[in-house]
Amino acid sequence: MVKLQVDGRKARGQKRRTELIAATLRIIERDGVAGVTHRTVAAEAGVPTTSTTYHFSSLDDLLVATLISCARDMATEVYWMIDRARARGSRGAEEVAGLLAEALGPRRGRTMAEYELYLLAARKPELRPAARRWLDVLTSMVRHDDEVAFRVFLAGIDGLLIQGLIDDEAPSAEELRPVVDYLLKPR
Amino acid sequence: MVKLQVDGRKARGQKRRTELIAATLRIIERDGVAGVTHRTVAAEAGVPTTSTTYHFSSLDDLLVATLISCARDMATEVYWMIDRARARGSRGAEEVAGLLAEALGPRRGRTMAEYELYLLAARKPELRPAARRWLDVLTSMVRHDDEVAFRVFLAGIDGLLIQGLIDDEAPSAEELRPVVDYLLKPR
DNA sequence: TTTGTTTTGGGACGATCGTTCAGGTAGTTT
DNA sequence: AAACTACCTGAACGATCGTCCCAAAACAAA
């Protein structure tokens, strides 16, 4: 017999865990991974310091959980972007350019957080599947007859994003458009 | 009148400063920016702890100096790569693929350090010129009639590198070759 | 040699860190 | 009701952190 009514205590615990992850992500966006400590996370979430150690066996665990959650969100976003593009029969250039401009503009902090994940994944193999998630979503959803061209497209997206992060001002969707067009154009 | 014989004291100081920078870079390669403290750097360089605070006004200064030095080295390397390619009349595909494979293989730690610089530059504007240095070297040395294609090439290189860092095994120059060819092929 | 400058290095201070622990509360089961 | 489980939290420990201070050493200029 499966219990339908969940344990209220566990539900509260789960809720606080997600709140801690959300608070951690906000801190990473604002100050980077370096700014994440038990105390800063707890203060951001408005909970006592020891709450983090109770719900996560270590700071590293909290960091890993946060970045995995962040990667899942990004993969979901990529999924819906493709879905939107398909709905209107587009080849996707406009959607991709718009998403890039957004990632480098209003969502700049989030984008930095995602590349902190990349770098952490480079050192921690257990994070790599999470870091590759959005790549996998794209690979599985998009038909690519030209394997090489597709790899170039994926690399180009990452390159545009990380180079956009060290630009003094974020590029607009219009500026990115020709580059994205070039990346998507078949030959 | 310019003094030709430099002050022996200042010479020693300068030498130790470069030793500290070298030690810091080794630590970043091994443990990331997170592993850099006054004490770890001093231990790595085999000097007393306070040596770092004397030669660099703060830990942040040491970090910035290290990453700027790292960026300069990389720019120099790119310069010579182009020079080598030109000397043998190549279009550069082989050289680029070889350099990428090396960056993701034996020089993996160094490559991670360079992307830590990128991420730090995203948060610290004063680091951005240094982070863009190798891009500038390429831009100024290579003739590019197609502006968009060139931007795609630069983004592709960065994308291949950072994605290569989260691969479980480093790609070989042979695997990278078709992608680099595609990036360089004019249309 | 004397005086001034620069580098060196040991010691220590206060702050902050991750983590532990024990007592207390809330919710579930019997 | 009692027993049990899960969550919560304030206090505190030892470790490590960045940085400061000051006396000694090395070197240059007088």
- The pLDDT score that the predictor gives to residue A4 is 52
Nucleic strand C near CB of residue A14 (< 7 Å): no
Q: Hey, how many other C-beta atoms are within 10 angstroms of the C-beta on A88? A: 9
Residue type present at position B179: V
| Two tokens, residue B106 | 């034996």
Q: Rounded to two decimals, what is the model's pTM?
A: 0.93
Contacting residues of B for A125, CB less than 8 Å apart: 168
Is 50 exceeded by the pLDDT of residue B9?
yes
Question: How far B5 CA lies from chain A's nearest CA (Å)?
Answer: 41
Q: How far apart are CA B133 and CA B78, in angstroms?
A: 10
Reply yes or no on whether the pLDDT at B3 is more than 50: no
A8 touches strand C (CB under 7 A): yes
CA distance B117 to A164: 14
CA distances from A84 to A87, A89, A173, B63, B130 (A): 5, 9, 17, 44, 39
A112 and B123: CB-CB below 8 Å? Answer: yes
pLDDT (0 to 100) of residue A115: 96
Q: What is the pLDDT of residues B110-150, one digit of tens each?
A: 999 999 989 999 999 999 999 999 999 999 988 888 999 99
Q: What residue of B is the nearest CA neighbor of A185? A: B187
Span between the terminal Cα atoms of chain A, in Å: 59
User: How does pLDDT run across A50-94, given as a tens digit for each residue?
Assistant: 999 999 999 999 999 999 999 999 999 999 999 998 999 888 899
Report, in ranges, which bases of strand D sit under 7 Å from a protein C-beta. Answer: 5-12, 16-21, 26-29
Whether A62 and A27 have beta carbons less than 8 Å apart is answered as no
Average of per-residue pLDDT values in chain A: 93
Q: What is the pLDDT of residue A143?
A: 83
d(CA A176, CA A173): 5
Determine how many CB atoms are found less than 10 A away from the CB of residue B80: 10
* CB of A11 within 7 Å of some strand D atom: no
A34–chain B nearest CA distance, Å = 7
Chain B residues touching A180 at Cβ < 8 A: none
Instruction: Name the pLDDT band for B1 (thresholds 50, 70, 90).
Output: very low
Closest nucleotide to residue A49 (Cα to C1')?
D9
Distance A154 CA to D18 C1' (A): 42
Helix (H, G, I), strand (E, B) or coil at B37: coil
Residues 40-79 of B with CB under 7 A from strand D: 40, 49-50, 52-53, 58-60
B24-53: string of b/e by CB count within 10 Å (b at 16+)?
bbbbbbeebbeebebebbbebbebeeebbe
The 10s digit of each residue's pLDDT in B56-82 is 999 999 999 999 999 999 999 999 999
- What is the pLDDT, as a whole number, of residue B28? 97
Task: Write the pLDDT tens digit of every residue in B92-110.
Answer: 899 999 999 999 999 999 9
Q: Are B153 and B184 in contact (CB under 8 A)?
A: yes
Interface probe, candidates A104, A108, A119, A177, chain B, greatest B C-beta count within 10 A? A119
Q: Give the minimum alpha-carbon distance from B10 to chain A in angstroms, rounded to a whole number.
A: 34
Largest CA distance in chain A: 60
pLDDT at A9 over 90: no
Nearest CA-CA partner of B157 in B86, B90, B89, B103: B103
Question: Residue B125: what residue type?
Answer: P
If you measure CA to CA, which chain A residue comes closest to B124?
A166
Best residue in B31, B60, B107, B119 for a mutation probing chain A (most A CBs within 10 Å): B119
CA A13 to chain CA mean position, Å: 24
Q: Contacts of residue B123 in chain A, CB cutoff 8 Å?
A: 32, 112
CB distance B164 to B170 below 8 Å: yes
Q: What is the length of chain B?
A: 187
Task: Tell me the CA distances in angstroms from B82 to A22, B86, B88, one per residue in order.
Answer: 46, 6, 10
Q: Which residues of A touch B165 (CB under 8 A)?
A: 118-119, 121-122
Strand C reaches within 7 A of the A3 CB: yes
Contacts of A101 (CB under 8 A, 6+ apart): A170, A171, A172, A173, A176
CA A57, distance to chain mean position in Å, is: 23
pLDDT top residue among B33 and B1: B33
DSSP assignment of A21-87 equals HHHHHHHHHHH-GGG--HHHHHHHHTS-THHHHHHSSSHHHHHHHHHHHHHHHHHHHHHHHHHHHHH
The amino acid at B154: L
Q: Looking at the predicted structure, is the pLDDT value of residue A1 above 80?
A: no
